[in-house]
Amino acid sequence: MTSTFDAATWGAQLNAVGDDILAGDLSLREESLRRKVAFYLGADGLPVSQTSCEPSEWYPTLVTRMTSVVVAHGRVVVAIDAALPLHSSILDVAFPGAGSTGSMLDITVVDLSRHRRTLHAQIPSHLVVTGTIALALSPVAAARKTTAPEHEAAIG
């Protein structure tokens, strides 16, 4: 059975084929096993090494390895072997190689810098530590510090 991921969310056209997820002919699971570092997917579905990217570059899909998985009390905490872009949120998550059947749970993703992002998504019934995880990212604008006009007048 083949299902398609929304390109508006994932940035590239992705298809689930069996337990794997493909970007064109590229198996995200196989590519993750082949590489030692996390990678992004460009709009064309080709991998771009996270370590070769400038901080100002933006890619909507990050693929990396899980280093820890804890499932308890209806929640999942997944540590990943990558740094999430600082001003990003996670829109969706997929687990290439783990299948798609499972439950909807709160998933907290913890990156190498110990930053946390939480979302409610489907988790496969069986996850393997060191398995592959794909994250659909969305940029979040940095909050700007502003001063109310009446506060400025009171200062001056």
Q: List the CATH number of the domain containing 37.
A: 2.40.37.10
Domain contains 74: yes
Q: How confident is the model at residue 63 (pLDDT cuts 50, 70, 90)?
A: very high
Answer whether residue 114 is part of any domain: yes
Residue with tokens 């064309």: 44
Residue 93: its pLDDT value, please? 95
Q: What is the mean pLDDT of residues 49-76?
A: 92
pLDDT of 55 > 90? The answer is no
Q: Is the pLDDT of residue 48 over 70?
A: yes
Mean pLDDT value of segment 97-108: 86
Q: Is residue 152 part of a domain?
A: no
Q: Tokens for 95, please give them.
A: 């687990």
The owner of tokens 């030692």 is 36
**High-pLDDT (> 90) share of the chain, %:** 57
- Whether 90 is covered by a domain: the verdict is yes
Q: Rounded to the nearest 5°, which phi and psi values hold at 58?
A: -125, 130
In a domain, 63, yes or no: yes
Helix ranges, 80-143 (H): none
Which candidate, 64, 57, 3, places its Cα nearest to that of 31? 64
Residue 145, pLDDT above cutoff 70: no
147 lies in some domain: no
Domain count, the chain: 1
Q: Is 30 helix (H, G, I), strand (E, B) or coil?
A: helix
- Total residue length of the chain: 156
For residue 1, what pLDDT band results from cuts at 50, 70 and 90?
Answer: very low
In a domain, 116, yes or no: yes
Q: 11-15, 16-20, 96-100 — which is least confidently predicted?
A: 96-100
Evaluate whether residue 155 is within a structural domain. no
Contact 135, 93 (CB under 8 A): yes
Could you report how far apart the first and last alpha carbons of the chain are, in Å? 68
Please provide the average confidence, as pLDDT, over all residues in the chain.
87
pLDDT of residue 100: 67
125, pLDDT greater than 90: no
Do the Cβ atoms of 135 and 62 come closer than 8 Å? yes
Q: Could you tell me the residue range of the domain that residue 111 belongs to? A: 2-52+59-141
Beta bridge partners of 48: 40
Check pLDDT > 90 for residue 106: yes
Query: What is the pTM for the complete model shown?
Result: 0.86
